[in-house]
Homo-oligomer: A and B are copies of this chain.
Amino acid sequence: MALAKESPPVSSKNGADQEAEYRAQTRLWLRLLACTTLIEGELRRRFREEFDFTMPRFDVLAQLDREPSGLVLGELPKRLMVSAGNLTPIVDRLVEDGYITRTPSALDRRVQIVCMTVEGRKTFRRMAKSHGSWLAELLAEFPADKLDGLIGELDQLKGAVRDSLEKP
């Protein structure tokens, strides 16, 4: 197949547009990171001060709260988007503290089931309530009627990034 002498560029954008998009993408990333860092730092601080608890520990409990019959341990790193090795000491400590149980599966001795205890559930519910009100406090000045719009755009962003990651 012959190519025309002055074939259009692969992208339909010209150099200046491309540069502008580049800059906008970088700015988007920096804003995203700034917002997350700001909120995460404050939530972490309050978790520590109020409950002497960390967010990763809370996140594990949050997953288990939705699963009355417990969860296969290997499901946690997938849902929380962290590495498996990372969870080992966190789960260890939650077990030690009596918030969750870890029982080997009878069918497959490689597998373990983690499950919230009554005590764990009680503690989690109390913390979750505070977590919600802290978030409400932090986001109070953001107009409520813009929440859903922003959520939608972030969903779209997440989907776009996911697509890019899965393509290769």
* Residues of chain A whose beta carbon lies under 8 Å from any beta carbon of chain B: 21-22, 24-29, 31-42, 81, 132, 135-142, 144, 146-151, 153-165
Q: Which residues of B have CB within 8 Å of A41?
A: 81
Q: Contact at A162–B24, with CB atoms within 8 Å?
A: no
Q: How far is the CB of A83 from chain B (nearest CB, A)?
A: 10
Residues in chain B near residue A40, CB distance under 8 A = 33
Closest to A55 in B: B33
Interface of A is mostly: helix
Is there an interface contact between A135 and B35, defined as CB atoms closer than 8 Å?
Answer: no
With the chains together, A41 CA to B163 CA distance in Å? 15
Q: Is the CB of B32 within 8 A of A154?
A: yes
Residue of B28, B137, B138, B163 near A147 (CB, 8 A) is B28
Q: Which residue of B lies closest to A11 (CB)?
A: B140
Knowing A157-B142, A160-B139, the reply to whether A29 touches B25 (Cβ < 8 A) is: no
In the bound assembly, the distance between CA atoms of A150 and B151 in angstroms comes to 10
Q: Which chain B residues border A22 with CB–CB below 8 Å?
A: 132, 136
CB of A36 within 8 A of CB of B25, answer no
Contact for A26 among B132, B144, B155, B158, CB less than 8 A: B132
CB distance from A131 to the nearest CB of B (A): 8
A158 and B35 contacting across the interface, CB-CB below 8 Å:
yes
- Whether the Cβ atoms of A163 and B144 lie closer than 8 Å is no
A165 and B136 form a contact (CB under 8 A): no
A38 adjacent to B142 (CB under 8 Å)? no
